[in-house]
Amino acid sequence: MNKILQKTDFSPVVTEFVVDAPLIAKAALAGHFVIVRADEKGERIPLTIAASDKAKGTITLVIQRIGKSTQKLCDLNVGDFMHDIAGPLGKATHIENFGTVICACGGVGAAPMLPIATALKAAGNRVIVVLAARTQELIILEEQMKKVADKVLIYTDDGSYGNKGLVTNGIEEIILSEKVNRCEAIGPAIMMKFVCLLTKKYEIPTEVSLNTIMVDGTGMCGACRITVGGETKFVCVDGPEFDGHKVDFDEMIMRLKAYN
């Protein structure tokens, strides 16, 4: 069992937890994820690690209330325990000095993007972050991103904060003003699809972190299978990051609707 050491409500629907998990913190790298259960009979929920502290033995998770299981997790408080956390799982993000990198975040996608942006900056890249969400209350980690990135742009669908528009508006604004060498995108599947359509138009290599349905997280169940470049891949063991220009997003989105 993993003890909750800190809880922060970013908004009525998004909560951050700092959890005691020394073995996971010791091995975690940018891009890794964990699978969490609130209690013994709880649903297994995959969550990308938002931060890890090897010295303190903690990991940070950001959870959005979107169903019964995430509601149960978000209702936990400091001193409570998450029943179990398995990980780190998946493959870490490939980090090198690419040049100028856009980090495109949709909603809570900012949480898994933070360690990636941090690692990219440490590798010598110029990092430009685009934070986008439906409304102002869903924009998270703005100050943390500003400490890491060279530039941060904010877009909301309703114009309640930052610029009115979509994440793709921010990306294209950057592309038209300076040379971009790479794009990292994390957010809802439909958002990543349109980011990839845009960056493919400008021939900018793009990595996406996918959020498919998972059960075991070890490649045995096949629930997270997707098609990448015409080949079947499993997000839990082959990903979660893939070349966005090769992902069959239409198939992925269709499979995500299976339990709606």
State the pairing for strand pair 241-243/163-164. Answer: unpaired
Answer whether CATH 2.40.30.10 is correct for domain 2-89: yes
Which residues of the chain fall below pLDDT 70? 259-260
Q: What distance, in Å, lies between the first and last C-alpha atoms of the chain?
A: 30
**Per-residue pLDDT at 259:** 65
**Per-residue pLDDT at 157:** 92
**Per-residue pLDDT at 220:** 83
State the pairing for strand pair 151-156/14-20. Answer: unpaired
- In whole angstroms, how far apart are CA 194 and each of 165, 168, 171, 185? 13, 7, 11, 10
Q: What is the pTM of this model?
A: 0.89
CA atoms within 13 A on the CB side of 63: 28
**Per-residue pLDDT at 258:** 73
**Per-residue pLDDT at 260:** 60
Question: In the chain, where does the domain assigned CATH 3.40.50.80 lie?
Answer: 100-259
Q: Are 85 and 48 in contact (CB under 8 A)?
A: no
What is the CATH number that goes with domain 100-259? Answer: 3.40.50.80
Question: In the chain, where does the domain assigned CATH 2.40.30.10 lie?
Answer: 2-89
- Alpha-carbon Rg for the chain, nearest whole angstrom, is 17
